[in-house]
């Protein structure tokens, strides 16, 4: 049953990316260089199998005017941190193959992530209600290492099957996360 749910969720997420690309909501209008100007991001080609790389994600985040910072875990798995609307976000990569540079590692999935430390714990009713009402984003509570309560929101994205340009899909899910994160902050009264 879990495998069926995971497969259904992955298919739903991929469908949303296809729809966003088809309707133009994830297009990069006005973000291309002028005709005749070289595009420095063209050197980062999309992997042939539709997988995502940190390099593609960084390129798309820069197109949005953001300043992503690349780091790696102990095993070399890439992760990116950056600010959106004054809040810290991270993109965590999973199922990554080996590559010479961390930003070139093709990965099967990623997770958009943002957390908020609070003065008082968020009631589980609020988190459960959010999770039953929202399709793409899920939330949960946590206690920080210094004992402060908090809440987190994340959006998981699956890139392991051939599909549209990973950069277009990344932008579509970034848009979903941005909308959901703003709604979540309102729901938990985080300022």
Q: Give per-residue pLDDT as tens, 1-52.
A: 444 334 434 444 443 443 343 333 333 323 333 334 334 444 444 454 678 9
CATH code for the domain in which residue 69 is found: 3.30.1460.10
Q: What is the pLDDT of residue 171?
A: 94
Name the DSSP letter for residue 66.
-
Distance CA 136, CA 74 (A): 29
Cα-flanking dihedrals φ and ψ of residue 98, to 5°? -70, 150
Q: What is the pLDDT of residue 31?
A: 32
Q: Tell how many helices (H) and how many strands (E) occur in the chain.
A: 4, 6
Q: pLDDT tens for residues 147-175?
A: 999 999 999 999 876 666 899 999 999 99
Specify if 145 maps to a domain. Answer: yes
Specify if 21 maps to a domain. Answer: yes
Q: pLDDT tens for residues 84-93?
A: 999 999 999 9
Specify if 11 maps to a domain. Answer: yes
Number of domains, the chain: 1
Judge whether 121 and 82 are in contact, CB under 8 Å. no
Angle 128-131-134 from CA coordinates, rounded to 5°: 145
Judge whether 146 and 132 are in contact, CB under 8 Å. no
**By residue range, what is the domain housing residue 103?**
2-25+49-187
Specify if 10 maps to a domain. Answer: yes
Percent of the chain with pLDDT over 90: 66
Q: What is the CA radius of gyration of the chain?
A: 17
How many residues are listed for the chain in this entry?
Answer: 191
Q: pLDDT tens for residues 126-142?
A: 999 999 999 899 999 99
Specify if 96 maps to a domain. Answer: yes
């Amino acid at each position: 049953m879990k495998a069926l749910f995971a497969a259904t969720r992955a298919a739903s997420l991929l469908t949303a990316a296809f729809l966003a690309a088809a309707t133009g909501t994830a297009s990069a209008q006005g973000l291309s260089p002028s005709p005749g100007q070289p595009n420095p991001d063209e050197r980062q080609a999309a992997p042939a199998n539709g997988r995502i790389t940190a390099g593609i994600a960084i390129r798309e985040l820069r197109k949005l005017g953001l300043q992503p910072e690349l780091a790696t875990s102990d095993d070399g798995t890439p992760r990116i941190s950056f600010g959106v609307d004054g809040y810290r976000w991270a993109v965590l990569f999973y199922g990554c193959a080996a590559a010479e540079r961390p930003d070139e590692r093709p990965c099967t999935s990623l997770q958009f992530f943002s957390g908020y430390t609070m003065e008082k714990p968020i009631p589980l009713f609020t988190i459960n209600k959010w999770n039953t009402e929202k399709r793409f984003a899920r939330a949960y509570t946590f206690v920080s290492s210094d004992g402060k309560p908090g809440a987190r929101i994340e959006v998981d994205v699956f890139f392991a099957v051939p599909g549209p340009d990973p950069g277009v899909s990344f932008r579509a899910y970034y848009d979903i996360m941005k909308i959901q994160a703003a709604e979540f902050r309102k729901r938990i009264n985080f300022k």
